C-alpha cells in the first residue's frame, strides 16, 4: 500500500528546492501451517509493518536524495502499526528535505584513505552482503554459484587448524531468529526446526554457518533452523534470520572522538560485491565530516567506500554501546532459482573502521 502526506510539514515550513517527495507504508499478514511425517503440526501467524520517506532535490545537473529511516522503502518489523507510529516519519521529513537541497551545493566526498563510522542503516547492508550471504552453507557448497555466486568461506574453517580470522576482536555476529521485532524472527522454520540463536563470528573468529537440515548434515551437524521457503510451492533453502552484530561498550561521542580526520556515512545508496563476497564497494547518501574528534556540521555528497571483506572487518576498532543499537528489516532478499524473496533483519550499533579507501561515487 502506497500512502502520501508525510511531507506536508515540509511545505508548511517552506523548504524550497525539493523537487520530489515520497512516502510509503507496507503491511503483510501471513498464516503458515507446517506438518510432517515426524508428527509435527505447527501453526504460525506473522504480521509485518513498515515504511519510510524520502526527499529528492534536482538542480544544476545533479540529483540528491535523503531518506528516513532507511533507503529502499524504509524500515520493517514483525510488528503492527505501532512500529510505523514509533518511527514518527513526519517529524523527520523536514531534515530529509533540507539535507537533500543542501547536498546539491555540497562538495563531493574527498578521495583517499580515511577513518569512517558506519551508521546502523548502512551497517544493515554491510553485514548482509559481506557476512550474511558468505556464511550461508548452501552457497558455500555452490548451490548459488551459477546465479548469485559462491563464498570465500570454506567448511574446513570450522577446524582449529584452519581457523578463519573474519575480523577484529570487536566483531561478534550472531544469527538470532528469536530477536524481538526482528523481520527474520519466527517460532519454527519451514522444516519444523525451532528458532535458534547461533554465534557465527565470536570476537573476530569464524565459528558457524547458517544451515538447514540438508546442508547441516553434510558437515555432521544438526540444522540451525534456517530452512525457509517463500511459499508452499518452493522447497526451503538456507536463509538469513536476524544477522546481528553485538554492541560494543563505547558511547557514540567516544567513537567519534577517536577520529582526527574522517566521516560518518549514513544510509545506503548503492552497492556492488563480487561473486565470492570478497571485494565490495558501497555508496551512501551522505557523509558527515569529522575533524579532531567532532562532527563539524559540514556534509559531503556522493560518498563511496571500498574494501576486502576480512581486511575491512579486521580494521574495525570500535563499536558503540547498546544505547545506540538499532534493528533494521530487509523485506526483499532474493535467492534461488526460481527466485524466492524472503525477509530478514540486521541489528547493529554505529561502527568505526580504520584506514578505509574512500572515493567519489560516479553519479553520471
Q: Give 7-23 pLDDT, tens digit per residue.
A: 444 444 458 999 999 99
- Could you give the percent of the chain with pLDDT greater than 70? 95
Q: Choose among 208, 261, 243, 206: nearest CA to 346.
A: 243
Q: What local confidence, expressed as pLDDT, does residue 11 receive?
A: 43
Report the C-alpha gap between 67 and 44 in whole angstroms. 33
- Could you give the percent of the chain with pLDDT greater than 90? 91
Dihedral of the CA atoms 258, 307, 182, 193 (nearest 10)?
Answer: -130
Residues 308, 319: contact at Cβ < 8 Å?
Answer: no
- Cα end-to-end span (Å), the chain: 32
Q: What local confidence, expressed as pLDDT, does residue 14 receive?
A: 56
Distances (CA, A) of 222 to 135, 176, 196: 16, 16, 12
pLDDT band at 68 (very low <50, low <70, confident <90, very high): very high
Upstream peptide bond of 338 is cis (omega within 30 degrees of 0): yes
Predicted confidence (pLDDT) at residue 262 exceeds the cutoff of 80 = yes
Q: What local confidence, expressed as pLDDT, does residue 3 receive?
A: 38
Residues 204, 168: contact at Cβ < 8 Å?
Answer: yes
Q: What local confidence, expressed as pLDDT, does residue 8 receive?
A: 40
Global pTM reads 0.94
Q: What local confidence, expressed as pLDDT, does residue 93 receive?
A: 95
In terms of C-beta distances under 8 Å and separation of at least 24 residues, what long-range contacts does 58-64 make, across chains too?
58/19, 58/20, 58/104, 59/17, 59/19, 59/104, 60/104, 62/104, 62/301, 62/363, 63/363, 64/100, 64/101, 64/103, 64/104, 64/285, 64/301
Q: What local confidence, expressed as pLDDT, does residue 146 receive?
A: 87
User: Span 201-218, mean pLDDT?
Assistant: 98
Domain range summary for the chain, segments of one domain joined by +: 8-105, 107-364
**Cell 503492527 sits at which residue?**
80
- The rounded radius of gyration (Å) of the Cα atoms in the chain is 21
Q: What local confidence, expressed as pLDDT, does residue 15 receive?
A: 85
Write down how long the chain is: 364
User: Span 170-194, mean pLDDT?
Assistant: 98
Report the C-alpha gap between 128 and 121 in whole angstroms. 11
pLDDT band at 139 (very low <50, low <70, confident <90, very high): very high
Average pLDDT, rounded, for the chain: 94
pLDDT band at 124 (very low <50, low <70, confident <90, very high): very high
User: Span 315-338, mean pLDDT?
Assistant: 96
Q: Report pLDDT digits (tens) over 20-65.
A: 999 999 999 999 999 999 999 999 999 999 999 999 999 999 999 9
CA torsion sign for 177, 23, 295, 270 is: positive
Q: What local confidence, expressed as pLDDT, does residue 360 receive?
A: 62
Amino acid at each position: 500500500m502506497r500512502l502520501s502526506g508525510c511531507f506536508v510539514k515540509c511545505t508548511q515550513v517552506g523548504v524550497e528546492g525539493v523537487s520530489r517527495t515520497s512516502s510509503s507504508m507496507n503491511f503483510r499478514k501471513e498464516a503458515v501451517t507446517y506438518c510432517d511425517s515426524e508428527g509435527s503440526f505447527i501453526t504460525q501467524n506473522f504480521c509485518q509493518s513498515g515504511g519510510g520517506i524520502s526527499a529528492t532535490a534536482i538542480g544544476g545537473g545533479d540529483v540528491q536524495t535523503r531518506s528516513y529511516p532507511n533507503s529502499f522503502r524504509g524500515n520493517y518489523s514483525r510488528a503492527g502499526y505501532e512500529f510505523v507510529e514509533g518511527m514518527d516519519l513526519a517529524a523527520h521529513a523536514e531534515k530529509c528535505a533540507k539535507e537533500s537541497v543542501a547536498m546539491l551545493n555540497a562538495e563531493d566526498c574527498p578521495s583517499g584513505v580515511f577513518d569512517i563510522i558506519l551508521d546502523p542503516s548502512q551497517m544493515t547492508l554491510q553485514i548482509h552482503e559481506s557476512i550474511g550471504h558468505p556464511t550461508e552453507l548452501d552457497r558455500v557448497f555452490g548451490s548459488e554459484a551459477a546465479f548469485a555466486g559462491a563464498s570465500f568461506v570454506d567448511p574446513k574453517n570450522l577446524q582449529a587448524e584452519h581457523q578463519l580470522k573474519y575480523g577484529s576482536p570487536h566483531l561478534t555476529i550472531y544469527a538470532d531468529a528469536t530477536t524481538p521485532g526482528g523481520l527474520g524472527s519466527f517460532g519454527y522454520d519451514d522444516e519444523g526446526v525451532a528458532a535458534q540463536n547461533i554465534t557465527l563470528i565470536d570476537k573476530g573468529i569464524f565459528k558457524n554457518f547458517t544451515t538447514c537440515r540438508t546442508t547441516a548434515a553434510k558437515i555432521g551437524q544438526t540444522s540451525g533452523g534456517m530452512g525457509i521457503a517463500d511459499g508452499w510451492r518452493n522447497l526451503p533453502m538456507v536463509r538469513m534470520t536476524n544477522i546481528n552484530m553485538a554492541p560494543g561498550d563505547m558511547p557514540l561521542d567516544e567513537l567519534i572522538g577517536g577520529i582526527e580526520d574522517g566521516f560518518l556515512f549514513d544510509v545506503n545508496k548503492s552497492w556492488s560485491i563480487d561473486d565470492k563476497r570478497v571485494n565490495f564497494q558501497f555508496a551512501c547518501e551522505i557523509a558527515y565530516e569529522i575533524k579532531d574528534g567532532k562532527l563539524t556540521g559540514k556534509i559531503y555528497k556522493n560518498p563511496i567506500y571500498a574494501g576486502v571483506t576480512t581486511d575491512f572487518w579486521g580494521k574495525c576498532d570500535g563499536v558503540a554501546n547498546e544505547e545506540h543499537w538499532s534493528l533494521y528489516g530487509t523485506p526483499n532478499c532474493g535467492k534461488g532459482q526460481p527466485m524466492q524473496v524472503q525477509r530478514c533483519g540486521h541489528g547493529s550499533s554505529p561502527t568505526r573502521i580504520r584506514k578505509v579507501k574512500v572515493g567519489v561515487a560516479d553519479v553520471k
